[in-house]
């Protein structure tokens, strides 16, 4: 395990560099893009490839929290208003098939 993890990490980085894939620091914006949600996708539409400083300037007035989206209670994501994540509740996310109510 001490050899395998660094080896695969190095291979992954080399693969990305050879294919000229961009490397970004793990900032709030990159993490937010990973968890996202419908509201966050709408806010960042077309802006996700901008530099962090430019994103902060454009969206400086945007208030966001992480939790269960009030507008979509099956989604844990970033939204302007959220509820608390319940420990034993199952959330299906954006792309999952939602159960009929």
Please calculate the CA angle 48-50-51 and round it to the nearest 5 degrees. Answer: 125
| Residue 57 neighbours by CB distance under 10 Å | 10
**60/89 Cα distance (integer angstroms):** 33
- Kindly state whether residue 42 falls inside one of the protein's structural domains: yes
pLDDT in tens, the chain (101 residues): 889 999 999 999 999 889 988 776 777 666 666 777 777 777 777 776 777 788 778 878 888 888 888 887 877 778 888 888 888 887 776 555 445 44
Report pLDDT for 28. 67
Is 33 a domain residue? yes
The owner of tokens 């509740």 is: 89
The pLDDT assigned to 8 comes to 94
Question: Structurally, how many domains does the chain consist of?
Answer: 1
Residue 14 included in any domain:
no
Asked if residue 7 belongs to a domain, the reply is: no
Helix (H) or strand (E) holding 53: helix 52-58
Q: Give the integer Cα–Cα distance in Å for 93 and 77.
A: 9
Residue 92, in any domain of the structure: yes
Decide if 81 is inside a domain. Answer: yes
pLDDT at 62: 81
Query: What is the residue range of 85's domain?
Result: 25-101
> Is residue 5 in a domain?
no
């Amino acid at each position: 395990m001490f050899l395998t993890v660094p080896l695969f990490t190095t291979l992954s980085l080399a693969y990305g560099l050879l294919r000229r894939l961009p490397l970004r620091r793990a900032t709030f914006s990159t993490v937010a893009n990973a968890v996202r949600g419908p509201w966050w996708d709408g806010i960042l539409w077309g802006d996700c490839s901008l530099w962090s400083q430019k994103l902060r300037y454009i969206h400086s007035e945007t208030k966001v929290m992480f939790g269960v989206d009030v507008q979509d209670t099956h989604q844990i994501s970033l939204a302007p208003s959220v509820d608390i994540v319940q420990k034993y509740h199952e959330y299906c996310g954006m792309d999952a098939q939602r159960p009929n109510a």
